[in-house]
């Protein structure tokens, strides 16, 4: 495999596992898995028990890692799990090394 591609894949893996290294972000992922649909950020924040600024921080890290999809509509942001990234980098982590 090309070194540049391999470096990009490693960077993606590192970003994903850094994003998953926080208990709050794990709770966000669990919540999104259970609702299995797109939800408003505020709803997730209330369920997890975090402030809006804290939620913004955690959602940004999850989005940058590619673990969630974010859609803005008017004043609301809707998020959902990005199952493709979860499957590729988390579920099949070992087989993709």
Fold of 3-96: Arc Repressor Mutant, subunit A (1.10.10)
Tokens describing residue 89: 């980098």
Answer whether residue 2 shows pLDDT above 70. no
User: Domain locations in the chain?
Assistant: 3-96
pLDDT of residue 36: 83
CB 28 within 8 A of CB 62: yes
Q: Which of 43, 45, 65 is nearest to 53 (CA)?
A: 45
Q: What digits encode the pLDDT tens for the residues 37-81? A: 899 999 999 999 999 999 999 999 999 999 999 999 999 999 999
pTM (2 d.p.): 0.88
């Amino acid at each position: 495999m090309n070194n540049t591609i391999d470096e990009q894949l490693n960077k993606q893996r590192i970003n994903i596992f850094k994003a998953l290294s926080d208990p709050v972000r794990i709770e966000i992922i669990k919540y999104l898995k259970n609702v299995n649909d797109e939800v408003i950020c505020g709803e997730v924040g209330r369920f997890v028990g975090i402030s809006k600024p804290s939620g913004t921080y955690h959602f940004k890290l999850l989005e940058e890692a590619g673990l969630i999809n974010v859609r803005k509509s008017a004043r609301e942001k809707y998020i959902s799990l990005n199952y493709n990234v979860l499957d590729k980098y988390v579920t099949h982590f070992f087989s993709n090394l």
